[in-house]
Amino acid sequence: MLHRTIHLFRKELRLHDNPVLLAALESSEALYPVYILDRAFLTSSMHIGALRWHFLLQSLEDLHKNLGQLGSCLLVIQGEYEAVLRDHIQKWNITQVTLDAEMEPFYKEMEANIQRLGAEMGFEVLSLVSHSLYDTQRILDLNGGSPPLTYKRFLHILSLLGDPEVPVRNLTAEDFQKEGLSSCLPGLEKKLRVKDVLCLALCEEKRCRAPDLGLAECYRVPLPVDLKISPQNVSPWRGGETEGLQRLEQHLTDQGWVASFTKPRTIPNSLLPSTTGLSPYFSMGCLSVRTFFYRLSNIYAQAKNHSLPPVSLQGQLLWREFFYTVASATPNFTQMAGNPICLQICWYKDTEGLHKWKMAQTGFPWIDAIMTQLRQEGWIHHLARHAVACFLTRGDLWISWEEGMKVFEELLLDADYSINAGNWMWLSASAFFHQYTRIFCPVRFGKRTDPQGNYIRKYLPILKNFPSKYIYEPWTASEEEQKQAGCIIGQDYPFPMVNHKEASDHNLQLMKQVREEQHRTAQLTRDDADDPMEIKVKCDHSEENISKGKVA
């Protein structure tokens, strides 16, 4: 029996490698492509800020356009998830709901509620995995029901599983126009265009007061102004499958760069991204990780030599997969309390310090430039993320990683439940990372790759006239030199909020004590070998650890 299906887009906002949408098309006589814009759910579960809202709306608009080119459309319905589903399942006589399977607790709960609703109202539910390389449950099963807590153990399990499933074929107009399938709304005059049919039907439901405006004004993608989102907050990263695929192709044309890519050796303060910059598109599901994985495999197969995991581009996808797997089966993964793999640390409650860090007012230009780029663009290099995270937590301020995670969740376009929390635990040495004596120097680290301070001059223009020898430490310039630069420290730009050497030495002793007292917890996520991703660079009083990054 063919179904009347609502296909729910959640995070897989694309048409390429979308197995559940393909399955929906093959099993349906009528298909309604739907995105439910549940603002309460999005803001409470993911805490998305203005830049992420813009990226999401751009992605929905692009999906709507791409569906239109195949003879279909996207219905964006605003409202509470269950109420919207209950209403439209009845009105459209739905017998099946399809959706992408996700592993975050809030998405799992949503799917469970849809399953319950299906049992109540008599429709089937189909969900398939496509946001990750593997079904994390298969990894857990092979590891005895629990997540592998070290990257080494994780790779061993993957060696037993073999390669990920290959991407499914791309959808075509024929899929939406095949005999017997009415895309969006069935049973009306075929001579009418899809958008006219939809609008007429919706007007019959008294949902559209102006039938001549067509589908765009019925269930259109809302504009930022409709959601009271500032139009000024626009990132250089434009959302959508089209943009994501274009960026992907641009990177893959340079096969030598792809084959020799080594993540830790990319430049954190390059004025243009020195990595792929694809992470926002993976996070929103505009790009398929399986597609990227196999395109990389093809390039590696043709190269005489190529980099290997964990530092290669494929290695970045595997780090992503590692955190997805651990997060899927670890209670309270995004919290310290009740998280069995996380050290329980008495972090300082410092509201003022947290605010200065978030608002780029620490007095350390390298740190403040990074936080400014984050706020303006929604993306920063993975090593820049490491620098500001270390500064907030174990390096200088001793403020909880949870607070930093929340700021990243709001501001990063690629904020991801699993990767964001996993990275913050890593960088605060609360789990996964154990070379805690290596601390990022907020002065020398940035200077290593950008001695002229061009990155700082771009994002902190108040400091742009300082000579290069002062750009990372403007407080060391004389009063006359500060006047010549047009910036008085303590007046136009703050003094450093801490003495880095004193603060980091003190915090080092605190961390040492914590790890001695909680030795058993610390060992849970510790690999036998040293961190495979590190590069060591001398600082004034300690070693900097420039370690791994995941698809940033």
* 3-class state of residue 8 by DSSP: strand
Q: In the prediction, which pLDDT does 309 show?
A: 65
Q: One digit per residue, pLDDT tens: the chain, 552 residues?
A: 899 999 999 999 999 999 999 999 999 999 999 999 999 888 888 888 999 999 999 999 999 999 999 999 999 999 999 999 999 999 999 999 999 999 999 999 999 999 999 999 999 999 999 999 999 999 999 999 999 999 999 999 999 999 999 999 999 999 988 755 665 544 333 333 444 444 444 444 434 333 333 444 668 999 999 998 887 767 888 999 999 999 999 988 888 877 776 655 556 666 555 567 899 999 999 999 999 999 999 988 887 777 666 668 888 899 999 999 999 999 999 999 999 999 999 999 999 999 999 999 999 999 999 999 999 999 999 889 999 999 999 999 999 999 999 999 999 999 999 999 999 999 999 999 888 999 999 999 999 999 999 999 999 999 999 999 999 999 999 999 999 999 999 999 999 999 999 999 999 999 999 999 999 999 999 876 544 444 343 343 433 333 333 334
pLDDT at residue number 235? 83
Query: Please, which residues have CB within 8 angstroms of residue 366's CB and are 6 or more apart in sequence?
Result: 269, 387, 442, 443, 445, 446, 447, 456, 472
| Pairwise CA distance, residues 512 & 343, whole Å | 12
The predicted structure's pLDDT at residue 208: 37
Buried b (16+ CB within 10 A) or exposed e, 234-272: bbebbbbbbbbbebbeebbeeeeebbebebbebbbbeee
CA angle 416, 362, 417 (to 5 degrees): 10
Cα end-to-end distance, the chain, whole Å: 45
Question: How far apart, in whole angstroms, are the C-alpha atoms of residue 109 and residue 40?
Answer: 15
Tell me the pairing of strands 96-101 and 3-8: parallel
User: Rounded to the nearest 10 degrees, what angle do helices 289-302 and 313-328 cross at?
Assistant: 150
The top-level CATH class assigned to 1-131 is alpha beta
* 351-546 belongs to CATH 1.10.579.10: yes
201-237 pLDDT per residue, tens: 444 443 433 333 344 466 899 999 999 888 776 788 8
Peptide bond connecting 496 to the previous residue in cis, omega within 30 degrees of 0 = no
How many CA within 13 A on the CB side of residue 5?
30
Token code pair at residue 275: 């990595």
pLDDT value of residue 392? 98
> What distance in Å separates the CA atoms of residue 423 and residue 505, rounded to the nearest whole number?
23
Q: Answer left, alpha or beta for residue 68, where phi above 0 means left and psi between -120 and 50 means alpha.
A: alpha
Q: Is 467 helix (H, G, I), strand (E, B) or coil?
A: coil
Per-residue b or e along 331-352, where b marks 16 or more CB atoms closer than 10 Å to that residue's CB: eebbebeebebbbebebeebee
CA angle (275, 263, 253) in 5-degree steps:
50
Q: In degrees to the nearest 10, what's the CA dihedral of 328, 330, 335, 336? A: -160
Q: Residue 287's closest CA among 278, 296, 295?
A: 278
Locate the domains of the chain by residue range.
1-131, 187-216, 351-546
Q: Give, in degrees to the nearest 5, the angle at Cα 268 between 265 and 269.
A: 130
Cα–Cα distance, 394 to 504 (Å, whole number): 7
- Alpha-carbon dihedral of residues 139, 140, 144, 148, nearest 10 degrees? 80
